[in-house]
């Protein structure tokens, strides 16, 4: 049974004009998006662009300082954070990992491990797992309690390229078999696009968003040309156009300095491609002087600001 994205249904979670401010600085601002049942939404953006802050706000771990977050009543969230506080010096089996935060029936545990391909490893020690197996174990833990919304912060950490493809295939299959909504964070759009309905690109605010081109998603196209061709179809150059200064102010490419970066402040200019062209200085977590181009598949209907 398959559950295609259904944007008509009432969203599981929706963010409207959300802003989070810390130490006098907006970490994110003006963030709008929603995730519906059966939909995979991916947040991409450079380091420090507010992806984790945004998902934590979406699931209620952080409160927005402006705007609002609406969650479906009784929403069950399965969250795989970017970092996990595990004491690696103590032995920990997969079975124990699955029940660390609460009891779980043998049946639900077995079904979750089966879904991620780890059913034979119940007694394996987490310390000895490969990067890909560890990510799968975390995913099993998150899906075992049958969440309505699965939130994965960088699910391919420590995973090689072929393992990455396998993990995104798994994410898509979890969506297809359970119909849950999935909110993903990724640095890299190359692989994730194949398993995404909507991409939201963050750089302190939503700088572009959209669905992958319909044709590159169509089964016929992929069957005819293969998934590599589907990826090559929609490469676009992506370039941010402002600089976050150490004091939190923003230097725009037109030379203007503003207190915040905001899509409607008149300093963000449309491009053919879409550029990140800014320096995030010390104290900003964006320490790389990144004038970088990512290769992304072109999301249809994207908005450049």
Ligand X SMILES: Nc1ncnc2c1ncn2[C@@H]1O[C@H](COP(=O)(O)OP(=O)(O)OP(=O)(O)O)[C@@H](O)[C@H]1O
* Nearer of residues 11 and 50 to ligand X, judged by Cβ: 50
CB of 45 to ligand X, least distance (A): 5
From 285, 290, 292, 303, residue interacting with ligand X (rule: CB under 6 A): 285
Tell me the closest approach of the beta carbon of residue 151 to ligand X, in angstroms.
Answer: 13
Q: Which residues contact 285 (CB under 8 A, 6 or more apart)?
A: 47, 48
- In angstroms, the CA 274 to CA 302 distance is 10
CB of 47 to ligand X, least distance (A): 3
Cβ-based nearer residue to ligand X, 157 or 258: 157
Find the shortest distance in angstroms from Cβ 125 to ligand X.
28
- Of 26 and 134, the one with the shorter C-beta distance to ligand X is 26
Q: How far is the CB of 278 from ligand X (least distance, A)?
A: 13
Q: Least separation, in Å, of the C-beta of 21 and ligand X?
A: 9
Please report, as residue ranges, which positions from 166 to 195 form the binding site for ligand X (by CB under 6 A): none
Q: Would you say 69 or 233 has its CB closer to ligand X?
A: 69
128 binds ligand X (CB under 6 A): no
3-state SS of the chain is CCCCCCCCCCCCEEEEEEEEEECCEEEEEEEEEEECCCCEEEEECCCCCCHHHHHHHHHCCCCCCEEEEEECCCCCEEEECCCCCCCCCCCCEHHHHHHCCCCCCHHHHHHHHHHCCCHHHCCCEHHHCCHHHHHHHHHHHHHCCCCCEEEEECCCCCCCHHHHHHHHHHHHHHHHHHCCEEEEEECCHHHHHHHCCEEEEECCCEEEEEEECHHHHCHHHHHHHHHHHHHHHCEEEEECCEEECCCCCEEECCCCEECCCCCCCCCCCCCCCCECCCCECCCCCCCCCCCCCEEEECEECCCCC
The DSSP bridge pattern shows strands 25-35 and 40-44 to be unpaired
Compute the C-alpha angle 128/133/139, nearest 5°: 125
Select from 19-27, 130-138, 246-254, 265-273 the region that touches ligand X (CB under 6 A).
19-27
Nearest to ligand X of 45, 147 (CB atom)? 45
Binding mask 39-78 for ligand X (x = CB under 6 A): ------x-xxxxxxx-------------------------
Minimum distance of ligand X from residue 117's CB (angstroms): 27
Decide whether 34 or 49 has the Cβ nearer to ligand X. Answer: 49
Q: Distance (Å, rounded) from C-alpha 83 to C-alpha 266? A: 37
Size of the site for ligand X (CB under 6 A): 14
Cβ nearer to ligand X, comparing 145 with 285: 285
**Binds ligand X (CB under 6 A): choice among 22, 76, 146, 291:** 22
Residues that bind ligand X in the complex, under the rule CB under 6 A = 22-23, 27, 45, 47-53, 82, 284-285
């Amino acid at each position: 049974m398959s559950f295609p994205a259904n944007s008509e249904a009432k969203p599981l979670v929706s963010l409207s004009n959300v802003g989070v401010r810390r130490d006098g600085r907006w970490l994110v601002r003006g963030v709008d998006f929603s995730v519906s049942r059966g939909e995979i939404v991916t947040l991409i953006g450079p380091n420090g662009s507010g992806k984790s802050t945004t998902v934590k706000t979406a699931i209620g771990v952080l409160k927005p300082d402006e705007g609002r977050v609406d969650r479906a009543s009784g929403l069950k969230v399965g969250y795989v954070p970017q970092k996990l506080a595990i004491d690696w010096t103590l032995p920990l089996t997969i079975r124990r990992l699955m029940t660390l935060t609460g009891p779980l029936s043998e049946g639900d545990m077995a079904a979750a491990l089966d879904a991620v391909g780890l059913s034979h490893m119940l007694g394996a020690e987490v310390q000895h797992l490969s990067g890909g197996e560890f990510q799968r174990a975390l995913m099993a833990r998150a899906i075992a309690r049958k969440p309505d919304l699965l939130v994965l912060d960088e699910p391919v950490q420590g995973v090689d390229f072929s393992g990455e493809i396998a993990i995104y295939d798994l994410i898509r299959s979890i969506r297809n078999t359970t119909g849950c909504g999935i909110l993903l964070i990724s640095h890299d759009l190359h692989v994730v696009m194949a398993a995404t309905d909507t991409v939201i690109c963050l750089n302190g605010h939503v700088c572009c968003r959209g669905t992958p081109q319909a044709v590159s998603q169509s089964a016929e196209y992929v069957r005819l040309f293969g998934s590599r061709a589907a990826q090559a179809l929609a490469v676009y150059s992506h370039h941010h156009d402002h600089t976050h200064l150490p004091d939190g102010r923003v230097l725009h490419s037109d030379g203007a300095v503003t207190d915040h970066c905001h899509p409607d402040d008149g300093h963000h200019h449309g491009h053919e491609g879409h550029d990140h062209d800014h320096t995030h200085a010390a104290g900003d977590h964006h320490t790389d002087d990144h004038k970088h181009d990512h290769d992304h598949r072109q999301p249809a209907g994207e908005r450049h600001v």
